[in-house]
Amino acid sequence: MVGYRTPDDVVFLADCLSSEATLRKYRLSFLYDVAGYLHTLDAVAHMDARMFVPAHAAATSDISDLARINIETTHQAADDICNLCGDPIGFDDLLAAVFEHYDLQMNFEQHALVGSTVRSYLSYLAVEGRARARIEDNRWLWARV
C-alpha cells in the first residue's frame, strides 16, 4: 500500500480506506496484514493535508473520521471472527460462518478474497493471543483463547 503527497498538499491514499457505505455493505476489506493496516490507518487519522483523495471514498479535507470508521470496522471484524471461533472450527466452516454472519453471497472471487482476508485476521488474532490453531483428528482447527 502506498500513498503520495503532492507539492500542493494533496494526499492520494489509494486503497488505504473504504467508504462508510462500502464497509456497511461488505464489512470486510481485503487485507494481508491486519496489524500493519491498523498502524497505517492510525497514521492516516493523524495526517494533515489540504485534501485527501482515497480510491474508494470521496475526496475530503478531513480524513480522520473515515480513518476511525475503518479502524473500528477492522477491530469489529477481528472480534466477530474471534467470536465465531468460540468452539474449535475448521477454516472452511469458519469461512462459511463469516459469509453467513455478514450476509454475504459466496462465489469463487469472494471465496478467494474473503478467504485470504479471514486467514489474515486469524494470523493477527493468533499473534495477539486471542485465537490459536491446533490439529485434531487430522483437521486444522481454530479456537478462541
Q: What is the DSSP string of 16-51?
A: EEE-HHHHHHHS----S-HHHHHHHHHHHHT---SE
Q: Which is nearest to 73 in space by CA: 116, 43, 34?
A: 34
Question: In whole angstroms, what is the distance from residue 39 CA to residue 52 CA?
Answer: 18
Mean pLDDT of 34-52: 97
Question: In whole angstroms, what is the distance from residue 76 CA to residue 22 CA?
Answer: 15
Beta-carbon count within 10 A of 106 CB: 14
- Which amino acid, 114? V
Per-residue pLDDT at 52: 98
Reported in sequence order, the residue ranges of 3-138 that DSSP labels E, i.e. its strands, are: 4-5, 10-18, 51-56, 89-90, 131-136
Mean pLDDT of 74-101: 97
Question: In whole angstroms, what is the distance from residue 137 CA to residue 116 CA?
Answer: 24
pTM of the model: 0.94
Say which residue the cell 469489529 belongs to. Answer: 76
Mean pLDDT of 95-104: 96
Q: Tell me the per-residue pLDDT of 105-134, one tens digit each, with 9 for 90 and over.
A: 999 999 999 999 999 999 999 999 999 999
Mean pLDDT of 8-21: 94
Per-residue pLDDT at 96: 97
Q: For the stretch 22-54, what's the b/e string if a residue is b when 16 or more beta carbons lie within 10 angstroms of its beta carbon?
A: ebeebbbbebeebeebbebbeebbeeebeebbb
